[in-house]
Structure 1
Amino acid sequence: MAIHSDWGDWLPRAVEDATPEGFSLWYLGCNGFILKGSDGTTLFIDPYVGTGDPPRTVRMIPVPFDPDDVTEADAVLATHEHTDHVHGPSQAPILESTGATFYAPDDSLAVARDDEKWTEEWDVSPDQFEAVEEGDTFEVGEFTVHVEPAHDDDATHPVSYVIEHESATFFHGGDTKPGDELAAIGEEYDIDLGVLAFGSDGWIPDKETREPKYTKWYSDENEIAAAADALQLDCLLPTHWDMWKGLTADPTALYDHTRSYDYPESLEIVEIGDRVDR
């Protein structure tokens, strides 16, 4: 499957040319991010440039880059096994061209190894796969990555990541919803910026029957506000609201929903391609 970028190669080149003072992150739409530190360490988290499975899942935003245009990456992190988080055509070419390591929980690695056969379809070595589980900590260049639980009943083994840098601490929750797991994370870490998935509910064709099925994949306004409060986030950055037709949402509504909580202290709304500095 060939990927065609709607934006050419400007985004990979912009990341490569950037020299952050602390670290910078670029929002890739859906739940994807690129993080780059002041020493040049570059991490991808859940990058997805597929178009979904029309008419069931229909991508509503541009494809911001072609994975073949990525020449600098130290690691690709996956939060869980769903297609928009583990996707060979989006991620394997990055491993192929950069030699980056793919960090993921077991069920996500099973998709890459067994279902999509990355090592056969691309020039990816088995030693580029690294299994992670809750409680693990590993270093990638200037970043320290802590693997923490996530509360996502739609996934078979989801995790979240707390990524520490000397300038700030970043949390990526995958598609987590509120749960006791998040309160424990909020107590353990001082999180400067946290990413949580947000969206509406809707009638989406069933994966097998293609009949309309009431679907709820992401936190609604009240749930994401409760999750951000449990995590004690300084700043909340909502994601996923832009992606799928029928499940999109208005992130500006979160100003009202977070107002009565102690956390988050602020709300950062970004669009695909935007850069945030910390």
Structure 2
Amino acid sequence: MAVHSDWGDWLPQAIADSDPEGVAVWYLGCNGFVLRDGEGTTIFIDPYLGTGDPPRTIRMIPVPFDPTDVEHADAILATHEHVDHVHGPSQAPILERTDATFYGPDDAVAVAREEEAWPETYDVAAEQLVSVVEGDAIEIDAFTVHVEPATDPDASHPVTYVIDHPAGTMFHGGDSKPDPEFADIGSRYDIDLGVLAVGTVGMIPDRETRVPSVTKWYNDENQCLEAARDLQLDRLLPSHWDMWKRLTADPASLHQHARGFEYPRRLEIVEIGDRIRL
């Protein structure tokens, strides 16, 4: 199914036309981000342009761009295998047009290779789909992407990423809850900006029976702040709170939870389409 953007092509054009000082970061909504440095190296993380599976999961924010409007990408990083993180209609057209490399843990790559058959369905070479494991370090021009552990009971093999650049360091937690390894990660890296998924508890229909049940997919406020403290984040950027009906949250409430703690030093609240500096 082709993706149809609500916004036209202004966002991918703005990214392509940018000449950042250091590294610019755009929020795509859900858990999606784009990083671009002054040399033009461009990394997508978990870009999802689908509308969910209504009425089970209902997208609450615009589809910000059509993947066929992406002019340049060097890599797409997937944190785990769920559809809002690995999605052929969102990501394969980017690989087709740019020859970027898709990186993800084994189960995420298996979705692309086997379940959705990107090499057969799209003009994507098998060599563009690369499995990573915890401990790997991927060099993408001036960026070094470190693959780190995650705790997401709903995923079969999730990872997190620490993305190093001379201009700064970003942590992307995927949908991870607090992890025993986060304190070690926080001690090994000086993380300028950390992304953690936040949401409420809601009633979501079962995929097969459609019978609603209590569902908690993302961090609550206290879990988010626990992870931020362990990671020693200078700036915490909450994500995913805007995406699914019945699981949306108010990220501003994190201000109250963060009071009195050394980390995070600052809360960075952004909306879909916003650009910030790493």
Q: TM-score, normalised by structure 1?
A: 0.99
What is the TM-score with the length of structure 2 in the denominator?
A: 0.99
Q: Give the match for residue 49 of structure 2.
A: 49
Q: Secondary structure at the match of 1:180?
A: coil
C-alpha displacement of 1:259? 1.1
- Answering whether residue 241 of structure 2 is matched by residue 226 of structure 1, we say no
**What are structure 1's unaligned runs of at least 5 residues?**
none
CA distance in 2, matches of 1:12, 1:79: 22
Q: Equivalent residue for 2:108?
A: 108
SS at match of 1:145: strand
Matched residue, 1:147: 147
Give the structure 1 partner of residue 89 of structure 2.
89
Structure-2 residue corresponding to 1:166: 166
Name the structure 2 match of 1:137.
137
Q: Paired residue for 1:69?
A: 69
Structure 2: which 5+ runs fail to align? none
8 Å CA contact retained: 1:175, 1:197 = yes
Distance 1:68 1:135 in 2: 33
- In the alignment, structure 1 residue 34 sits paired with structure 2 residue 44: no
Q: Provide the identity percentage.
A: 67
Residue 260 of structure 1, CA deviation? 2.2
1:276 aligned counterpart, secondary structure: strand
Task: Specify the alignment match of 1:213 in structure 2.
Answer: 213
- Tell me the distance in 1 between the aligned counterparts of 2:127 and 2:225: 40
Q: Name the Cα RMSD after superposition.
A: 0.6
Q: How many residues align?
A: 278
**2:251 paired residue number:** 251
> Runs of 4 or more off by more than 6 Å in structure 1?
none
Instruction: Report the equivalent of 2:179.
Output: 179
Q: Deviations over 1:200-246 (max 9, x none)?
A: 01000011211011100000011101110010000000000000000
Query: Secondary structure of 1:170's match?
Result: strand
Amino acid in the other structure paired with 1:251:
P
Matched position secondary structure for 2:208 = coil
Show the counterpart of 1:200: 200
| Aligned counterparts of 1:14 and 1:227: Cα–Cα separation in 2 | 32
Q: Is the 8 A contact 1:50 1:63 kept in 2?
A: yes
Give, in whole Å, the separation in 2 of the partners of 1:128 and 1:156: 22
Q: Quick check: 1:151–1:181 contact (8 Å CA) kept in 2?
A: no
**Cα shift at 1:179:** 2.0
Q: Tell me the distance in 2 between the aligned counterparts of 1:190 and 1:155.
A: 27
Q: Secondary structure at the match of 1:34?
A: strand
Separation in 2 of the partners of 1:161 and 1:264? 18
